Amino acid sequence: MKVLVTGGAGFLGQRLARQLLSRGSLPNSLGVQETISQLILLDVVPAHDFGDARVRVVTGDIADGALMRQVIDAETTSIFHLAAIVSGQAEADFDLGMRINLDASRLLLDVCRERGHVPKVVFTSSVAVYGGALPDVVQDHTALSPQSSYGAQKAIGELLLNDYSRRGFVDGRVLRLPTISVRPGKPNKAASSFASGIIREPLNGENAVCPVSPELRLWLLSPRCAIESLIAGHALSAQSLGASRTINLPGVSVSVGEMVAALEKVAGAEVAARIRFAPDPAVERIVKSWPGAWDVTRAKALGLSADASFEAIVRAYVEEELPR
Amino acid sequence: MKVLVTGGAGFLGQRLARQLLSRGSLPNSLGVQETISQLILLDVVPAHDFGDARVRVVTGDIADGALMRQVIDAETTSIFHLAAIVSGQAEADFDLGMRINLDASRLLLDVCRERGHVPKVVFTSSVAVYGGALPDVVQDHTALSPQSSYGAQKAIGELLLNDYSRRGFVDGRVLRLPTISVRPGKPNKAASSFASGIIREPLNGENAVCPVSPELRLWLLSPRCAIESLIAGHALSAQSLGASRTINLPGVSVSVGEMVAALEKVAGAEVAARIRFAPDPAVERIVKSWPGAWDVTRAKALGLSADASFEAIVRAYVEEELPR
């Protein structure tokens, strides 16, 4: 089987690729394990190929039909569609967000439909599809009401994937991801970038600015659990999903103040003191519109799980990413 | 002010046009009444112009950018976007539904954005955005879960209109219409076509086939109330709508069996006996996924209203449409 990962050079794409190469196989639509013969990592910048002969690195624009017809053929049994313009950037550049988050997602589905082989397609969605007056714990039947263009584009992608699946064009599943924390590396243009930065920068001996208040509640997932969830979500059978292809993934509900306390507990008061609070209304408006928790009964029944606590997330980050 | 009606040759488009010409003015975004200097009726077939010098009939494809740039300019203060591929047809011809219900709606919003004058845009949506396991009375915060391509395309249109409004590209409002009954004329390709046919055909001395069971509950609105709702929805101020531009319009909740009983009460047992029940699983699957009622607290608070009863709807149809 061939596997395509869009956003394959990105943080999650690279981690997913490493996991897929190490596992070596994935279940197909019949639930039968198939050996991964080729793993295409598609992105706007070249992905690392891990020196693995199975990896094919493709660089280009996922909104380009010719390119997408080149990377998806009738042997492309599984697609992980991770490429996206993040929330802050989609708010700043409306056209770019529409082109990548909406048009390219639809193009991907249309190319699958042309091929006619009904591949498994995993879409990642986000807490950002919710908004407005939300209950403390969002339910599966709570209406989507995105308060950002990114959230609207993701919600539209969900509707498309569900309808293309219902019509039998793809065997799709949407995994709504909590905010990923702690991401290693540099800040990005996501409105939620601080949710990693306020842990990562202090641990690296740097100061961090937190643009939201300590009371704000976030719904978080570690990178490791995110990758496990993507692979587990891919493995689910179409029958187990039923009429709705969308799953709210389990996460950890934590306030920003509790995140700081967890950092202090793991790394000490001196490290936690490197965080300065300086509210940024633009960031706060977007992040406040996201749910701080959602009901995960369905996800748990499907066998999906999250981290034990935010403290466990910080400890895992320290072990995996800080080489001292 | 110029007013554009897409689907202007259609049943609702023509009725709306007649009402707008008779009123002669509409409130602009500041709530100030403006005289309608031009009313453009755009459709794939030529609309009637009512012999009125204010009417400009334009025939063409609403998915054509050049055409849309011709009919929307900086004086187009108000747009009623009624054109759509109906549910049964969008299910039968996926590409056509996507092109008209999704691409053309987005094009309309993009042309408004290019013009930069933030016109009022009224989108019509539908009960078909709902589906799956629904409560008896759908609430404003109930998740959309369309079970037809038409419903998915309408739900996407709603998300676009809300985001384009939030960003200040248009002053939009989405009116979710109940199923319209009783439509005069001929059956159409909507899955709900029978909801008019089982009343209209017997009253015309013809037999009618009902493709769903008598227990199935529908949420209905008369043509007259639908037009009143479109004009009232257009008049609402942006402030009164707040963050959500979508309104579930009031309707009448009635079972198919109760519809037949109302027909019998108004026109006699002989007329009602012209209805034969012959279930059509394809139609029943779509129509059963729609809500039989939704909460109208918000719509009523905004001053919108529905018919008194289905019997009143049938009596009004007899008075208005049957010339004996």
Q: Dump pLDDT digits (tens) for A48-100.
A: 999 999 999 999 999 999 999 999 999 999 999 999 999 999 999 999 999 99
* Candidates B109, B129, B144, B159, partner chain A, best to mutate (most A CBs within 10 A): B159
Which sequence positions of A are flagged as catalytic? 150
**Average pLDDT over chain A, rounded to an integer:** 96
Q: Hey, is A294 helix, strand or coil?
A: strand
Phi-psi region of B7 (alpha: psi -120 to 50; beta: other; left: phi over 0): left
Distance, CA of B129 to CA of B175 (rounded, Å):
12
CA-nearest residue to A132 within chain B is B243
Distance, CA of B162 to CA of B166 (rounded, Å):
6
* B150 is known as an active-site residue: yes
Per-residue model confidence (pLDDT) at position B182: 97
Residues of chain A with Cβ-Cβ distance to B160 below 8 Å are 152, 156
CB contact under 8 A, A167 and B149: yes
- Confidence category of residue A323, pLDDT binned at 50, 70, 90: confident
Residue A180 phi/psi, 5-degree rounding, is -85, 125
Structural domains for chain B: 2-178+221-248 (3.40.50.720)
Check whether B246 has a pLDDT greater than 90: yes
- Confidence category of residue A207, pLDDT binned at 50, 70, 90: very high
Contact between B273 and B185 under an 8 Å Cβ cutoff? The reply is no
Predicted confidence (pLDDT) per residue in A303-318, tens digit: 999 999 999 999 999 9
Beta strands, E only, chain B: 2-6, 25-27, 33-35, 38-43, 55-59, 76-81, 120-126, 171-177, 179-180, 208-210, 217-221, 246-248, 252-255, 275-277
Instruction: Give yes or no for B166 touching A (CB within 8 A).
Output: yes
Per-residue model confidence (pLDDT) at position B324: 62
B28-B31-B32 Cα angle (round to 5): 70
Chain A: give the shortest CA distance to residue B163, in Å. Answer: 6
For the whole model, what pTM was predicted? 0.95
| Among the listed residues B93, B288, B283, B313, the one whose alpha carbon sits nearest the alpha carbon of residue B194 | B283
The whole-number average pLDDT for the span A175-198 is 94
Instruction: Give yes or no for B155 touching A (CB within 8 A).
Output: yes
Structure tokens at B270: 């002989």
Per-residue model confidence (pLDDT) at position A132: 87
CA-nearest residue to A144 within chain B is B143
Check whether B100 has a pLDDT greater than 80: yes
Per-residue model confidence (pLDDT) at position B273: 97
Contact between B105 and B162 under an 8 Å Cβ cutoff? The reply is no
Structure tokens at B69: 């740039």
Query: Does the complex come out with an ipTM higher than 0.85?
Result: yes
Per-residue model confidence (pLDDT) at position A133: 86
Residue A277 phi/psi, 5-degree rounding, is -95, 120
List of residues 6+ apart from A120 with CB closer than 8 A = A28, A29, A77, A78, A79, A170, A171, A172, A173, A234
CB contact under 8 A, B143 and A145: no
Per-residue model confidence (pLDDT) at position A92: 95
CB contact under 8 A, B141 and A146: no
Predicted confidence (pLDDT) per residue in B162-220, tens digit: 999 999 999 999 999 999 999 999 998 889 999 999 999 999 999 999 999 999 999 99
Q: Which of B94, B152, B167 sits opposite A94 (nearest CB)?
A: B167
Chain A: give the shortest CA distance to residue B25, in Å. Answer: 33
Q: Which of B94, B155, B166 sits opposite A159 (nearest CB)?
A: B155
Instruction: Give yes or no for B167 touching A (CB within 8 A).
Output: yes
Contact between B2 and B112 under an 8 Å Cβ cutoff? The reply is no
Q: Which ranges constitute the DSSP H helices of A167-255?
A: 194-203, 223-235, 238-241
